[in-house]
Structure 1
Amino acid sequence: MTTLKTKLHLHAAFRCMVFASTAAIALSVANTATSQQPATAAATQNEVVAVVNGTSLSRKMLGEEALRRHGEDVLESMVNKYLILQACKQHNITITNKDVEDEIQRIAGKFGLSVDRYLQMLQQERKIAPSEYRRDIVWPMIALQTLVAKETQVTPEEFNKAFDSQYGESVKCRMIMVGKQQVAEQLHARASADPAQFGQLAKDFSEDEASASVRGMIPPVHRHTSDPKFEKVAFSLKPNEISAPFQIADQWIMLQCVKHLPAMHPPAQQIAAIRQQITDRIRDQKTRVSGTELFQKLQQQAQVVNVLSNPELRKQYPGAAALINGQQLTLAQVIAETLKRHGVEVLDGEINRTLLEQELKKMNIQITEEELNAEVARAAESYGFVTADGKPDVQKWLADVTSEQGVSQELYMQDAVWPSVALKKMVAGQVKISDEDLRKGFQSNFGERVEVLAIVLSDQKSAQQVWDMARANPTEEFFGQLAEQYSIEPVSQSNLGRVPPIRRHGGQPAVEDEAFRLQPGELSGIVATGERYIIMRCQGRTNPIVAEMDDQVRDQLVRDLTEKKTRIAMAEKFDELKTASQIDNYLAGTTQDGRLAAVPAAEKR
């Protein structure tokens, strides 16, 4: 299980930009009555889709839960597909199978994959079957592109701007960003008096944490990629020159030019491919804008009424999900389409919930409304949602978290808060904080850190070559140049090797051990971690944030460590429950015999 803020719930909030099949929409509009006999429909609703330790889960229940979570999105996509289909008919547009296959080949080629490999990747990673991808994603996409083709032609000016933003001149800068003009002017005066201190001032005072951690360094500024004022200032500066503070939105910014980078000139044999890539990207962007406008126009003309989201209309039109030009798109068809797209995912969430309910009953644990509200208040406080008097601002937190997830408060409580409280009560009393935990926690959060320049490489051979060059010329400037030329990690590559300071117990023991052995100016060995090879140059160490662990710091560490270890215990408890359970998932076609979990490995067959 994860923390509330990560938004990874038992039911993942997965939104697919897919459309319903042409046949399903055509049937839903042309035939308002279902062709199923009542007995057959009832039998389908009562069909068992999973059995969890003897508890049956029905298709009817699954359909209702899937509709609650994804019904609005699915309905919207089904209506959109119908509107696109009708627009194509009006304009005598026909999308052939060859058009679809050519588009799939083009998309696969953009990723450097064969069609078969690309479709296999979609099936494995996004659970989209090739037939569904062709019918529900690619066909509507081509139809939409054709309908707005006149508005999406790429002009020479648009191409030239995009080419310039990718391959043209750029400026490497440091930045200081603050919220108040007076502070910006004071920092500007200090930086102008001693330009060499700009990086230190950025580290100490800039409110942009990402750049402050690397002494103000930001990725190179290209034309036509950010705020025009920002770009104009950056390109106007000479090396080491500092701009006057300027305002963008509610922030005050000043830049120091490090150097101007020349334009890149791709080989002639790559120009055609680059032109096609840029043209496709611009056309795709314009298609999204024009497509949105087209949808709005089609919806206004079509008189679409959303019945699903309106309780009064659902009473007035029982069994209907929407009205399109007065004809019904039925609720049953939306549920069927929702199950087709999200059934396996939602069922997995219902299986997980059933496991928790069974264990709560077994342990004779009850969950009260007060406990649920307390968990919401804890989450609000832990993520900084507090009122002026220091109390958790629950309403503001709920508004933020439900808006970010795109779910109702009811679903948030059911899918995030309830499972968290349930697991927390199951592991209550199991978490202990040792003196060693406190020592490591104190070092990690408040202890000294090592400031380094770093180069990250992908293979041992390259790492050895770069390390040899760094040893032969052991200066900070040359190491930064090596990082810019060879590092495959974006932060170190774009900031002359500068990366956030390394702390102890941060999750990279090999890197930490090597960093803390280094003296200022010393070159590290090659540190292999996973599939990466890291070279560091020590710049020095920071002072400890807190010298000694007083009672206040100790209490804070205990709270933080308890929360962290509780989350780990909750995840282990849930894994234990799932592993030991008998689960027959008929929708996914899988089965798990929990009894095997208790059998020694040597006895399993």
Structure 2
Amino acid sequence: MKHTRIPAVAAVLFLLMASPLWARGGQEKEQEAAPAAPAVQQEQQAGDELSREEMVARVNGRGISREEFNDVVETNIYRFEMHNDQTFPQDRRGQLERQVLDGLITRTVLETEAEAQGITVSDEQLGETLAQFRSQFPDDDSYRAALEKQGFSEKLFEAEVLRQIAIETLINTRAFEGLTVDEATAREFYDAHPEYFERPEQVAARHILLATDEGADTDELRARLGQIRQQLLEGADFGALAREYSDCPSSAQGGDLGAFGRGQMVPAFEEAAFALEAGELSEIVETQFGLHLVQVTERIPGRVIAFTDVRPEIEEFLLEDLQNEAARTYVTSLREAARVEEFIEID
């Protein structure tokens, strides 16, 4: 069983078609606000002061500006065209605009609820999150370039991160309270899905490959590999000969391919490997890559992983499912209770 962990807030925003953190787009706008006000608060104040003509929607009294809406739409179109190397289809623009507007409305619903609940973000929390993101880049210039590519200044990105931390805190503290997975539930999942915990038979093997490039004399290569095989039968070191003669990148590891199951190698190679006992050397095996000598170093029997060995993983998997569903339900309830006015028509 394999499960990719998604932070709860990211899962919620994605499922509800909210615009991603990096899709904010546009240029940073100077705000008329007190110097001590955080960047997010400045943006919130500006949103509260928008005229109706400047808004695409109003949520719980807070406006969503046409400028921000247009920025996010154009940023998503730009990213689509960059990633797909084609012009964004205009017949899909209405669908994109609907998704963007829904996302901005959902974000604002969560943002205003976080404020109502008195949720604040400490400088330490913000600093740790920014440091974690910055650590993905080799230097500050690369970090700034990545932000700029997505339409962010550092200041605006920090404001968006601050907003997202507040929203995630809201979800974690209000939607997830009391959620647990007990042993009986985990056991029920284990018993119902035995296929997730089966580990088929594997072999660990190493090989020496003489590649049959176009124009190569196959008979000559076969004779040379036969000589190598004879040296191995006489006690020569397999790893040393693989490093010296093999044309496979695995030669750097002495020809070691690690462990693999059926269906992972080309048929002729797989058939030869699974026919060998541990320590046994194959005859010359021919595949589309060339001529091989295969030696199995270990046979690993098929097995079923015991419940006790995977119980923590199952509990984590099921808890994340519960959290995602709880977050989805919570956000939907906030959205339904919110005062939402839309001021644009989308085709």
The TM-score bracket by the shorter chain reads 0.3 to 0.5
Superposition TM-score, scaled by structure 1 size:
0.26
Higher relative contact order (CA 8 A, sep 6+): 2
Superposition TM-score, scaled by structure 2 size:
0.41
